[in-house]
Structure 1
Amino acid sequence: MTPLTNLRPAPVIDETTRLLTEHYVFPEVAEQVADLLRRRLADGAYDVGDAAELARLVTADLQSVNGDKHLRLKHHADPVSPEQGAATLESIRRDYDTSLGGAPRVELLDGGVAVVELAPMLFPLEWAAEPLSAALTLASRAQALILDLRDNRGGDPDTVAFVCSYLLDERTHLNTMHWRGGERGEQYWSLPHVPGARFGGSKPLYVLSSGSTFSAAEELAYDLQQLGRAVVVGEPTRGGAHPCKGWTVHPHLEATVPIGRAVNPVSGANWEGTGVQPDIPCAAAEALDRAHALALARPAG
């Protein structure tokens, strides 16, 4: 429990509503949510004794209008820097250092089928390029590949493009991000060249998903699925397609506000609210065995 020592909830709500109205990708929704937070503050709904409880209450209200799971007031047990984005960066750096850079498992199964687990995040590319390249290069000689995203909670769209580059033969348009206030979207493409060896665009590829797969991990599954490159096996994902930034609004609280929306060039849509729907639905715990069986039944051409 983190007490709200010497701090009323009002300044936290004031700053959160300011960030919402200035940065949220949907200005009309921002106004609705900001009005709701102000009403709830005036009603005393946020008069609670600790930061974690305030974060829970405010997050529920932030997400109540349009269900945007990236719109949050996050609690941090340890005090975090007031610098924009620092709270999230410190947290994910700890995860990076304890997960082999986001590729904690590379395994060869029977039949020449490789498994590469990407978890717990698709870390910033300046950190993750080396470990991801090593893992994907090692798997490049496999007859089929299973990409395990069941425990991946998101990350960086540049890292999504980097991973896709190992799984395609040609430079390919993957996604377009539309930022608030921008007249044109920012396109994301696979890379013409990669360090190491590609698995390529023709051998069987399966992506494992779960109800915990979120954000950029969903984009990776969705992009490959829409291109007809991968078969998604497992559960529908959480449904968060809006990239966000974080701002510290209290030493233990960070407001995360989506600043853009993804549009896939194939579907013209995204996975917001619905999640990525698997091609082969099954319980997440069974997904690896199902994908392995599929791979064994469909040898590489």
Structure 2
Amino acid sequence: MAQAVVLLASMLIFSNVGHCVYSPTLIVDMAKVLMDNYCTPEKLKGMEETIDAASSNTEILSIPDPVTLASVLTEGVRNTIGDFRVKVTYEPEYVPAVPPAMPDIPPEQLAGMIKASVKVEVLEGNIAYLKIQHIIGEEMAQKVGPLLLEYIWDKVLPTSAMILDLRSAVSGELSGIPYIVSYYTDSEPLIHIDSVYDRPSDITTELWSMPTLLGKRYGTSKPLMILTSKNTLGVAEDVAYCLKNLKRAMIVGEKTAGGTMKINKIKVGDTDFYVSVPVAKSINPITGMSWEIDGVAPDVEVPAEDALETAVAIIQLRAELPGLLQAAAALVADNYAFPSIGADVAAKLAAAADGGEYNTISTKDELKAKLSADLLKLSGDSCLKTTSNIPPLPPMNPTPEMFIELIKVSFHTDVFENNIGYLRFDMFGDFEHVAAISKIIVEHVWNKVVDTDALIVDLRNNVGGPTSSIAGFCSYFFDSDKQIVLDRLYDGPSNTTRDLLTLTQLTGRRYGSKKSLLVLTSGVTAGAAEEFVFIMKRFGRAMIIGETTRGGCHPPETFRVGESDIFLSMPIAHSETSQGPSWEGAGIAPHIPVPAGAALDTAKSILNKHSSGQK
């Protein structure tokens, strides 16, 4: 606090001031008001030194205009103690207001006042909307209680969710806090809601939930949203903060004003200067902190004018959640490629929903993210997740010339020294489409490498695609004298297993089973490419060089969750594992592990040495 005078004086540039307009006791008396009444006395350490220094500070007290002086004093105090709520004013005509006694108002007039100050409505979806501008205290609540029930509470009590609008609530009484909070809690056990410290009396009052109330409670199970704005002030902030930290309500809107429980305007000595000073503070028993100065931060921050629409959307989403999660669990149980895992995932997903793990979800994006994370955690399969529903591209009718250009871009071939062939492509195509252009592929791609003495197939950048062409592609590397079962694939939706066989008829010539075949892989190699590598390695038909493959899955299918716009991407088929482990989720280890960037040179070196040895 010793720097307080410096902070005050630094705001002014005065020179050659002849005499003080105001007595040094002005600052001394102002400091005493703060020391005796400010709600956080620990911030006032060093005030005594400031008072001593003030007696020799003539610059501030020489300001002739009292309004300007009050402004300078305000800024200095705020900078010193870090509290914007403190304010010094000059008000020669100020008359302290005396709280009026409770008037004896006829019930009809009281009813009119209640209707005018509280807006109540039942929105579509059986959502209660209650807008409050003033939180009444205990005395008023007891007097107008029956009317509150008749005109307000009985209308909202049967609803399935409530929105409490405090965006315009700027006033209220301390004794009203337990009343309003208790309607959203159970009667037992009693809950310590808040503690309020009053500095002038040095008394801390604990606020507890009430065991009995007029009318029925709204309870603890139905959704409660509280709307706030930057204007939400004082007692209304406390209500929002208490219900938020009791985890009974979600706050939607803007950060609140950061006001105070109680502020007094206190006269400074015998002058016409007054200090508005917070004399009480809230100390939340859960957080050990207060909403004062900083305000109440919303759980979902949106402009105040959008808060109601946002809250309604959240309530509607949460009402849909049980059905959506049940539908998602059923899809996994009925279609997932691994039935036993799918049944377990479905059961645990339903249990997570019943256990309230999804109760804090506010948006579809949050739901998708959590659902994906839970599916991964429960299944260990990164291919089982939520996805965007990307509609298929419309069918195209390209000309033969367009096909040729597409193939030239999609495939890369070369013939290296010692008649070593090289074939690279980065995605598998659908078999039906490949069949339609098979003659073009054979002519412009396959015929360039089929007569080589050895072949390098580069799948380092192959991200997969449909597996419908796998059997055909594999067949080129086996002989035609007998049909081979390349793999057995289990289909989840039909609960059947089918054999993946080599084809007896192919377009173009076979490479055969005798010539050397090397396949390059990386951590990118995935899906259908992994299935090809898996088959070639299991039959000992190819040497695998590079990195362990990604460990993806057979091409997943997209399923709509109920009638929503949420979709699951789910593998429905897997390589039958009765003959040993598969590649899904684990990847395929190479015979010769090298960094992907070195795989081609390694393969060429092996084949060149082999060729030299034969010579």
Normalised to the residue count of structure 2, the TM-score between the two structures is 0.40
The answer to whether residue 27 in structure 2 is matched with residue 27 in structure 1 is no
Deviation at 1:109, TM superposition (A): 1.1
Task: Find the counterpart in structure 1 of residue 194 from structure 2.
Answer: 175
From 60, 80, 83, give the equivalent of 1:68.
Answer: 83
- Aligned partner of 1:299 among 319, 325, 340: 319
CA contact (8 A) 1:176 1:188 kept: yes
Following superposition, the deviation at residue 78 of structure 1 comes to 7.2
* Paired letter, 1:147: L
Equivalent position amino acid for 1:295 in 2? I
Q: 2:40 is matched by which residue type in structure 1?
A: F
Paired with 1:126 and 1:41, the residues of 2 have a C-alpha distance of: 50
Alignment CA distance shift 1:66-1:168 (3 Å): same
What aligned pairs does 1:1-301 form with structure 2 within 5 A after superposition?
A: 15-30=29-44, 35=50, 43-44=60-61, 47-48=64-65, 56-73=71-88, 79-81=94-96, 86=97, 89=99, 100=114, 103-119=117-133, 121-128=134-141, 130=144, 133-134=148-149, 135-170=152-187, 171-180=190-199, 185-241=204-260, 243-248=262-267, 255-299=275-319
CA RMSD between the two structures: 3.8
Structure 1 gap segments, 5+ residues each? 1-7
Check whether the contact 1:102–1:122 (CA below 8 A) recurs between aligned residues.
no
Kindly tell me: are residues 76 and 158 of structure 1, through their superposed partners in 2, closer, same or farther at Cα, counting changes over 3 Å?
Answer: farther
SS where residue 240 of structure 1 aligns? coil
TM superposition shift of 1:240: 3.2
The Cα of 1:13 is off from its aligned counterpart by 5.6
Quick check: which has more Rg, 1 or 2? 2
Which digits, 9 at most, give the CA deviation of each residue in 1:73-109, with x for residues without a partner? 468897423xxxx36x47xx9xxx9974894311221
Identity, in percent, stands at 27
Conservation of the 8 A alpha-carbon contact between 2:60 and 2:69: no
- Aligned-pair CA distance for 1:148: 0.8
Q: CA–CA distance in 2 between the matches of 1:48 and 1:232?
A: 45
SS at match of 1:212: coil
TM-fit CA distance, 1:215 = 2.2
Mapped partners of 2:70, 2:216: distance in 1: 45
Q: Which amino acid aligns with 1:160?
A: I
SS in 1 for 2:81: coil
- Note closer, same or farther for the CA distance 1:31–1:294 as it changes in structure 2 (3 Å cut): same
The answer to whether the 8 A contact 1:102-1:123 is kept is: no
Q: Give the SS at the match of 2:79.
A: coil
Provide the TM-score with structure 1 as the length reference.
0.75
What secondary structure sits across from 1:157 in the alignment? coil
| 1:117 to partner: Cα distance | 1.2
Separation of aligned partners in 2, 1:78 and 1:102: 32
> 1:280/1:178 Cα in 2 relative to 1: closer, same or farther (>3 Å)?
same
Amino acid at match of 1:244: I
Shift of 1:124: 3.8
CA deviation digits over 1:148-202, x for unaligned, max 9?
A: 1112224323211111111112332101123448887421012111223322221
Aligned residues: 281
Are the counterparts in 1 of residues 44 and 81 from structure 2 also a CA contact under 8 Å? no
Higher relative contact order (CA 8 A, sep 6+): 1
Which residues of structure 2 form unaligned runs of 5+?
A: 1-20, 104-109, 323-615
The separation in 2 between residues aligned to 1:58 and 1:274, in whole angstroms, is: 22
